[in-house]
Structure 1
Amino acid sequence: MSSTHADSLLNALAELTALRRPRLMLRTARFGTLDYQRDTDLRRILRLPATPAPGVATLRLLMELESQHEALRTRPPQEIGNPWRATRHIEVLIALIAEARLLAEAVTPAT
């Protein structure tokens, strides 16, 4: 792994650990990772014709999508626009956590 790729991965994981979300949402998402099926769920969540390869780019896509859902969740109630959907937000969080774990396992040396 090149040092720039490793730096990019570490930066993405650091950004991910800095996210602050309601405890109930995170607990629900962590529990949901038990049923996460990468091939079908990730393709559906990202609305892609094929499942993307694991990597920083996929993690970044999920982080951007989650950020959009968070903006919907925290916007003032009087604003008009797309409604926040808790189930969709949780699905994105599930995929984000599962993909981050997948990447972390890939770079963690086996003991």
Structure 2
Amino acid sequence: MQDLPSMIASLSRPSLLVGAARFGVDEYERNRCLPRLLHMAAAPKPGQAILKLLEIKADLNDKRKAKMADYAIARHVEVLIALMGEARVLRMTSAPLRVVT
């Protein structure tokens, strides 16, 4: 079993989608975006959010590859933005404290 940062790092994402998501990640607001994307009343913890976002991303990627009519590129980009934002939050909250002497 991989840890969350390793799971995120190993994702295969089309460069066009990633490029589009990078434009939105600085404006990402987890308390506004996550409840809507995950159909929840409130934003879960970053680890939980990442796991749910990975599931949604996998489903969207399957639809994209199958060229299904209900695939929405805008939703795919939104999910990637949230995934990048949550990865950033996870890195910030789980980084070890360093003492400078």
On whether the aligned pair clears a TM of 0.5, the verdict is yes
Matches within 5 A, 1:1-111: 11-54=3-46, 56-75=47-66, 77=67, 83-111=70-98
Show CA shifts across 1:13-60 (max 9, x none): 111111111111111112211111111111111111222123x22210
Name the TM-score, length of structure 2 as normaliser: 0.86
Does the aligned pair in 1 maintain the 2:34–2:49 contact within 8 Å? no
Q: Secondary structure at the match of 1:83?
A: coil
* AA at the equivalent of 1:69: L
* Number of residue pairs matched by the alignment: 98
AA at the equivalent of 1:72 = K
State the superposition RMSD in angstroms: 1.7
How far apart are residue 110 of structure 1 and its match? 4.2
Distance (whole Å) between structure 1 residues aligned to residue 4 and residue 45 of structure 2: 16
Runs of 4+ off more than 6 Å: none
Percent identical across equivalent pairs?
33
Structure 2, unaligned stretches of length 5 or more? none
Q: Quick one: which amino acid aligns to residue 72 of structure 2?
A: R
